[in-house]
Chains A and B, each alone.
Chain A
Amino acid sequence: MTQPARHAAMLSISNSGSNLAAAAEKQQPAQHLHTQSQSSQGLRVPSNRKTIYDRHLNRSRNAELSRASFAFLFAEMVTYAQRRVTGIQDLEKRLNEQGYPLGLRLLDLLFYRTMSSSTSSSLSSSSTSASPPNRPLRILPLLHLIHGPLWRLLFNRPADALEHSVSPETPNEYMITDNDPLVNTYISVPKEMSMLNCAAFVAGIIEGVCDGCGFEAKVTAHNQPTEMWPGRTIFLLRFGESVMEREKVLERAGVK
């Protein structure tokens, strides 16, 4: 996996990416006090005595972020990423890197939420019946995880299509389609940059999820407008050689 290198390269910008995570989860800045002060002798806690460990992780009904503030924040992120770039590819790479750490976090959060909702529904502490979700071991369950639960967590709806490359030369390519990506709703791309797709940020999130699960992948976002959906975006997932090899081994072993 390419994780260590990526993390090193990401240090400078990961703050902006993860601040979005905080905003998206509606956490108050109060928690920051705690994390910053832990190296000093006395532990400083927020005035309401609630650290992040005292807050629950489930989404409460009124905790949704307004679309306007998200659009504003995301526009700022694009502007920030655009500041010192040499070209469109560079810009997309930066957006991708902003999304990547978010994907790693969302993965854990997603499993935690599925797990806690399955135990609370059975309402028994012994909970031998409530089975926590399985980690994806093969490519297909991973793609279904992204297509369904992850998309619902992020955008409140599943993605629109999931396809496998038909070309025999590229069996490692998969495509996830979103007809109208939320991130692009309020972005108007200038004519001379028509190749740019700011959903590269979402591609970064997907890449983080794949990498976190142990599926080394490169994910890119491409414009594929149709008459009905002018903003249609295809996320192209290219899995690495090692993943395809393991896939074959697991298939022979009968792992689903």
Chain B
Amino acid sequence: MSYYFTILSPTDVPLFNIAFGTSKSGGDGIARFRFPDTAQYMNQFIIHSSLDVVEEAQWMNGNMYLKHIDTYPPASAYISAFLTPSGARFLLLHQPPQLPTNNVSSATAGSGSILGSSFSGSGGSSSRASASSVAANPTSPQTEEAVRQFMTEVYENYVKTVMSPFYRQGMEIKSSVFRGKVTAAGRKWL
């Protein structure tokens, strides 16, 4: 599973972004997207195109975590969103790894989609019960829960950033400590 996470200000200015891979099921934490390295802008393209859906869902649902809101089937990219009360958007793109087709396992939560699951359960070493299913199925409740935990942890660090007297809304977040905290949250939950 590869992840691309980005924070957008209420006026659609990108404040922070990071790409990382799963550390569960023996993953090494390095992102391996389906695009060649020269086309990494596709992630940004897909993630930003989901903003329309976010803005629609924003006023229909008062939750902060909007769950999985958008899918881009050609790249089997799934996008989850989290909204802070002050209007910043956290968007997470997750993409299951590409494996040979004979490797398709039986989907656990029955998503019914051929894109849903193509991960062979190699996660014997992981300790968490939810961990192996995070990688296995991007729309399962376990994944939703893991993403929610991840978002909540990032939100905590985001609030700390915002509370800094030297930070103004709409400023890029450059702190390496913040980046480290997000990476740690990704390692912990995703």
Interface residues of A (CB under 8 A from B): 1, 3-4, 7, 11, 14-15, 18-19, 21-22, 25, 27, 31-32, 34-36, 38-39, 43, 51-53, 55, 57, 101, 104-105, 107-112, 115-116, 126, 128, 132, 134-137, 141, 212-214, 246, 250, 253, 255
Contacts and interface: CB of A to CB of B under 8 A. Distances in A.
Contact of A31 (B83, B145, B158, B164): B164
Interface residues of B, number: 38
Interface in B83-127: 83-87
B62 interface: yes
Nearest to A4: B11
Contact of A27 (B163, B174, B175, B178): B163
Contacts of A112: 155-156, 159
B45 interface: no
A21 B165 contact: yes
A105 B62 contact: no
B10 interface: yes
B166 A105 contact: no
5 contacts: A4-B170, A21-B163, A34-B175, A52-B164, A104-B169
Contacts of A135: 62-64, 83, 85
Nearest to B171: A7
A15 B165 CA distance: 7
Contacts of B83: 135
Contacts of B158: 108
Interface in B149-190: 152, 155-170, 174-178, 181
A122 B124 CA distance: 31
B59 interface: yes
Given A132-B64, A250-B59, A214 B87 contact: yes
Interface of A is mostly: helix
B39 interface: no
Nearest to A31: B164
Given A18-B166, A109-B159, A109-B163, 17 more contacts: A3-B170, A21-B163, A22-B163, A34-B175, A38-B175, A52-B160, A53-B160, A101-B169, A105-B86, A107-B85, A108-B85, A116-B156, A132-B152, A134-B64, A135-B83, A212-B87, A250-B59
Given A21-B163, A39-B174, A43-B177, A137 B86 contact: no
Nearest to B167: A35
Nearest to B84: A108
| A-B residue pairs, 3 tightest by C-beta | A134-B62, A212-B86, A18-B165
Contacts of A32: 165-166
A57 B166 contact: no
B86 A25 contact: no
Contacts of A213: 85-87
A3 to B, nearest CB: 6
A69 B167 CA distance: 24
A53 B181 CA distance: 8
Contact of B174 (A38, A108, A115): A38
Contact of B85 (A11, A27, A31, A212): A212
A92 B159 CA distance: 29
A166 to B, nearest CB: 28
Nearest to B152: A115
Contacts of B166: 18, 32, 35-36
Nearest to A51: B177
A137 B59 CA distance: 6
B63 A134 contact: yes
Contacts of B159: 57, 108-109, 112
Contacts of A4: 11, 170
Contact of A34 (B59, B64, B177): B177
A216 to B, nearest CB: 12
Interface in B62-87: 62-65, 83-87
A132 B63 contact: yes
A243 to B, nearest CB: 11
